[in-house]
């Protein structure tokens, strides 16, 4: 059987690094190709690196057919799920794959909701062999869960995909800079991104730092100033409260003084009456 290598499928998942490829080659040379290659008809779906190594060294390998695939989208979703479950891929790769899955699932659901979708499904996709519809990934939280990332990381990966130059994307894929730093650098004009990437890891980090500091400065400068009218009103209210307190205390003291004077007047009046009664006629 002739195995067909679809270049689009082969490139759909990021290739192994040179070190990873060499490690896989050593393993196959020592132990043989233990995992079967996955085919859809005669098209190779999974095991491109193993297939290439086995052909290079004339080594035998096994194949297995996945008969549940009904379309290329089924193949893509299967490939994505296989790689999302592996520990060897980076956080950035997981985020990219989960976002790709979201696009495929969204397109499928939109197609399924079309008026003639039901009849097309009945005619072209037997229900007993169709791939089960994956759950929707219509929120960032759902995408983050699928990729085992935080929602904030998903936002940054989306920004990198939309705004970063290929040079910056290559740097984050290689682990030269973090997702956070790459998202910051992606805010710069393309020329500055390319220059920073060409200068290497340290310059990329410095560029990310400058972007963050610039944003922090803008936030501080644009922070809402205290309304002097409101501040004056608050001061007036507080002053009135203090004044009321002082007047209340003053009033209490005056009442006490009046009461004391009244007591003294009563005592004086009583004394005068006593003296008048004791005086001779």
Domain 1-67, architecture per CATH: Alpha-Beta Complex (3.90)
Dist CA 125 CA 19 (whole Å): 42
Dist CA 173 CA 181 (whole Å): 12
Structure confidence at residue 85 (pLDDT): 84
Adjacency order of strands within the sheet including 37-40: 43-46, 37-40, 63-65
Structure confidence at residue 271 (pLDDT): 63
Say which residue the tokens 């779906």 belong to: 45
**Contact in structure between 164 and 83 (CB atoms under 8 Å):** no
Structure confidence at residue 233 (pLDDT): 46
Strands 63-65 and 37-40 turn out to be: parallel
DSSP single-letter state for residue 87: S
Look at the chain and count its residues. Answer: 281
How many CB atoms neighbour CB 80 within 10 A? 22
Q: What is the DSSP code string of 165-187?
A: -HHHHHHHHTTSS-HHHHHHHTT
Structure confidence at residue 275 (pLDDT): 58
Cα dist from 10 to 30, 52, 102, 206, 279, whole Å: 25, 11, 20, 35, 132
- Mean per-residue pLDDT pooled into runs of 10, the chain (281 residues): 91 89 96 95 95 96 94 95 86 94 91 66 45 74 93 95 96 94 96 95 94 88 57 55 73 74 71 58 46
Residue 200 gets the label, from left (phi > 0), alpha (psi -120 to 50) or beta, of left
pLDDT, one tens digit per residue, over 60-110 is 999 999 999 999 999 999 999 999 988 778 999 999 999 999 999 999 888
**Contact in structure between 84 and 57 (CB atoms under 8 Å):** no
Structure confidence at residue 129 (pLDDT): 42
Structure confidence at residue 161 (pLDDT): 95
Question: What is the token pair recorded at 65?
Answer: 């057919």
Question: What is the token pair recorded at 70?
Answer: 């009904």
**Exposure of 182 by Cβ count < 10 A (0-12 exposed, 13-18 middle, 19+ buried)?**
buried
Dist CA 92 CA 20 (whole Å): 17
Structure confidence at residue 281 (pLDDT): 46
Structure confidence at residue 32 (pLDDT): 95
């Amino acid at each position: 059987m002739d195995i067909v290598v679809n270049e689009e499928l082969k490139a759909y998942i990021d290739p192994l690094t040179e070190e990873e490829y060499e490690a896989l080659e050593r393993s196959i040379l020592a132990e043989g190709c233990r995992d079967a290659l996955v085919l859809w008809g005669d098209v190779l779906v999974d095991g491109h690196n193993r297939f290439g190594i086995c052909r290079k060294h004339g080594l035998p390998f096994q194949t297995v057919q996945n008969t549940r695939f009904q379309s290329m989208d089924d193949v893509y979703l299967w490939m994505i799920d296989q790689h999302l479950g592996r520990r060897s891929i980076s956080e950035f790769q997981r985020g990219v794959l989960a976002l790709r899955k979201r696009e495929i699932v969204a397109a499928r659901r939109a197609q399924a909701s079309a008026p003639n979708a039901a009849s097309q499904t009945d005619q072209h996709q037997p229900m007993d062999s169709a791939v089960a519809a994956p759950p929707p990934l219509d929120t960032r939280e759902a995408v983050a869960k699928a990729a085992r990332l935080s929602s904030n990381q998903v936002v940054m990966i989306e920004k990198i995909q939309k705004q970063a130059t290929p040079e910056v994307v290559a740097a984050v894929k290689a682990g030269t800079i973090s997702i956070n730093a790459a998202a910051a650098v992606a805010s710069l004009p393309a020329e500055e991104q390319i220059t920073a990437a060409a200068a290497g890891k340290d310059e990329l980090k410095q560029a990310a730092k400058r972007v963050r500091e610039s944003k922090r400065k803008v936030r501080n400068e644009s922070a809402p100033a205290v309304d002097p009218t409101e501040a004056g009103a608050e001061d007036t209210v507080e002053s009135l409260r203090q004044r009321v307190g002082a007047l209340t205390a003053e009033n209490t003291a005056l009442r006490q003084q009046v009461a004391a004077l009244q007591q003294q007047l009563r005592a004086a009046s009583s004394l005068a009456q006593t003296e008048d009664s004791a005086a001779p006629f």
